Chains A and B, each alone.
Chain A
Amino acid sequence: MEALLSRYRNLTVLLVVVVAQLLYLAYQVRTNRDERLIRVWAVTAVTPMAGAVEGIRRNTIGFLQDYFILLDVREQNRKLKSDNDRLRLENVYFRNQLRTAEHASALILFQAQSPSKTVAARVIGNSTVATAKAVFIDRGSTSGIEKGMAVVTPDGIVGKVVAVYPLVSQVLLITDPTFKVGVESQKSHVHGVLDCGGGKCIVEQIQNEDKVSAGEWFFTSGEDRIFPKGFPVGTAVSVQPGQGMKDVKLNLSGAPAGVEEVLVVLQGVHQPIPTAQVAEETAVKAMPAPPPEGVDTAAQTAKPQTEADKVLEKYDTIGKEQNHVYGAYGSAVPNFNLKPGSGPAQIAQTQTAPAQTLQSQPQSSSTAGAAPAPKKPETQPAASTATLGGTPVPKASTPAKSTANGPVLPLGAPRHRAVAAPPQASSPPPSMPQQ
């Protein structure tokens, strides 16, 4: 025996090492327990270096541009991008809420549901397994992140947290072969399972009898207990009948592979699937409706903003023109049906006869996107509604801006005292998703 082992010493050692690793592997699989200690050591040893290298890379690449060419424009851009992402996520939340029901029920939903709490994180490294799609983010258990939390961007879903370490976390992307996501179609509410393992994203488990059309939006269904219901996932690019099940290929609205900054959902809130058309951001952008005659077009052209920004700006302009301070005690309720830029004389005239003025005015510039704004009743009282992406928006989302005449309050903050106003305006404003 000893001679045999000596003769085949190399092979024996190979078998011993392989079998030892196999047994260790089997132990992990059988107990379904991750060897956390080894991973914690490795990740703790590697991620500070990776974080430092990432920081050096970010700083050195933009050094010349930051300090010699563009000064600190890059930093401002980063901040604006971060703010923009946050606002877009809020915008998605508001749109979903507002599209579900009438104004009153939407406000009730706003009151009843607390919004999702998220924390921003930055991707600092990839996984060492080429076929497994996973990344490391620079937030860990000290930031409140736990295993199983959803990771999203304003554009769509990204993945879920599969391992949490003190300072970093590991996120399994939805493009990983082992990751499945429960999705639901927008129109017919058909439920399916998203699988992006084969390079293309396919929605499985949809019967041939179910009605799904190309171009239809899919949202998270919440059935996977990872992503809250109502997050956009993507659009169906092709729908073909298969053997028993439909072959639905999906185009993800987010970009999990190339994402650099993500939001981890600390406390998810299920949202209803929006019934109206989702404003898809495509490369082809339609021109807005031509402005009415006699209106300064230069002020309207240079506004590359989101629809929410346009509504905010419109309200801000209306407030300034009518000397209204948002949130200030005793300030008269402005007439939101007036077009921004109207002179004081016209304001006075229209305040006396709002119905006639509304009849003569074309569609407001705040109605952005391809979907046209629904016509409002001409006798509708002032300060009742505006439009947001073709959907009526309650006045409760009126923003408060910093002025020298009154206190500065955040968007939708309640007034000091109830002001006599139409029923919609007096309702408490919705709460915003926290970041």
Chain B
Amino acid sequence: MNETSDQLLTTRPVAESWFGRFQVVALAALTIVAVIGKFYLPRLIPNTEWLELPLLLTVYFGLMRRSPIASLFFGAFVGLAEDSLSPANIPIGMYGITKTLVGYFAASVSLRFNVEASFLRMVLCFFFYFFHAFFYWIMRRALLGQAVPFDPPETFVHGALNALIAIPLFAMLDRMKLAGAS
């Protein structure tokens, strides 16, 4: 896998160059905005708890970075930041593990497919949202013994909404990439 990723990385210099120029400050700011947005957005706009900006950011980073190690660390960082603002009855690390896996898988997928197409991005966002919600539910039941409900139809709807949101969001992040490259 390492050799394959090296080959593919060398064939996609544009994305690499963007992340090479992408400042750490901007990335940290995006992460903070995403986490705070999840913290505060439901107060500003009611019934927006389904919006998973940190997850979309993790997926985008994984798809564009195409480095599983960097993506899993980024996912772990975002997840742990979310965990620190989660209810006190949920220990820190639940979102960390979930988003670590999401970041890793997103980067792994990007090594095999051309993830520039909007439709594929939308499908991947939907899939990763469902995986994220289901895995988190599994962990709460298995590791914490908390009998929380899981509603697949609702998760499908929320996944579709997040996938729709991901299209303009990723386009905006792409524009930032172009601006950074110029």
Q: Which residues of chain A come closer than 8 Å to B95, judged between CB atoms?
A: 128-129
A22 touches B93 (CB 8 A): yes
- The answer, among B90, B91, B97, for a CB contact under 8 Å with A132, is B90
Tell me whether A43 is interfacial, beta carbon within 8 Å: yes
CA distance A178 to B140 in the complex (A): 11
- With A14-B68, A25-B143 already in contact, the answer to whether A127 and B100 are too (CB < 8 A) is no
Tell me whether B119 is interfacial, beta carbon within 8 Å: no
- With A6-B2, A197-B148 already in contact, the answer to whether A128 and B82 are too (CB < 8 A) is yes
Tally of contact residues, B, Cβ under 8 A: 54
Chain A contacts to B: CB under 8 angstroms: 6-11, 13-14, 17-18, 21-22, 24-26, 28-29, 34-35, 38-39, 41-43, 46, 49-50, 53-54, 57, 123-132, 134, 136, 162-163, 170, 172, 176-178, 197-199, 258
A129 touches B97 (CB 8 A): no
- With A128-B86, A177-B146, A199-B149 already in contact, the answer to whether A25 and B97 are too (CB < 8 A) is yes
Nearest-CB distance from A129 to chain B (Å)? 5
11 CB < 8 A contacts A-B: A10-B5, A13-B69, A17-B100, A24-B92, A25-B92, A25-B93, A28-B92, A41-B84, A46-B35, A53-B40, A162-B88
- With A10-B68, A130-B49, A178-B146 already in contact, the answer to whether A21 and B87 are too (CB < 8 A) is no
B104 touches A29 (CB 8 A): no
Given A9-B69, A25-B94, A29-B91, 7 extra CB contacts under 8 A: A14-B100, A17-B72, A24-B92, A46-B39, A126-B40, A128-B95, A198-B149
CA distance A196 to B49 in the complex (A): 18
CA distance A35 to B91 in the complex (A): 8
B104 touches A10 (CB 8 A): yes
Q: Which residues of chain B come closer than 8 Å to A34, judged between CB atoms?
A: 88, 91
Tell me if B's interface is mostly helix, strand, loop or mixed: helix
Q: Which residues of chain A come closer than 8 Å to B42, judged between CB atoms?
A: 126
Q: Which residues of chain A come closer than 8 Å to B19, judged between CB atoms?
A: none
Nearest-CB distance from B119 to chain A (Å)? 26
- The answer, among B39, B73, B82, B100, for a CB contact under 8 Å with A125, is B39
- The answer, among A7, A17, A124, A176, for a CB contact under 8 Å with B87, is A176
Tell me whether B153 is interfacial, beta carbon within 8 Å: no
- With A13-B69, A46-B85, A128-B39 already in contact, the answer to whether A18 and B90 are too (CB < 8 A) is no
Tell me whether B43 is interfacial, beta carbon within 8 Å: yes
Tell me whether B147 is interfacial, beta carbon within 8 Å: yes
One digit per residue, 1 when the CB lies within 8 angstroms of any chain A CB and 0 when it does not, for chain B 31-47 equals 00001101110111010
Nearest-CB distance from A37 to chain B (Å)? 10
Nearest-CB distance from A195 to chain B (Å)? 10
B69 touches A127 (CB 8 A): no
CB closest chain-A residue, reference B150: A131
Q: Which residues of chain A come closer than 8 Å to B104, judged between CB atoms?
A: 10, 14
CA distance A258 to B45 in the complex (A): 11
Nearest-CB distance from A312 to chain B (Å)? 36
CA distance A43 to B83 in the complex (A): 11
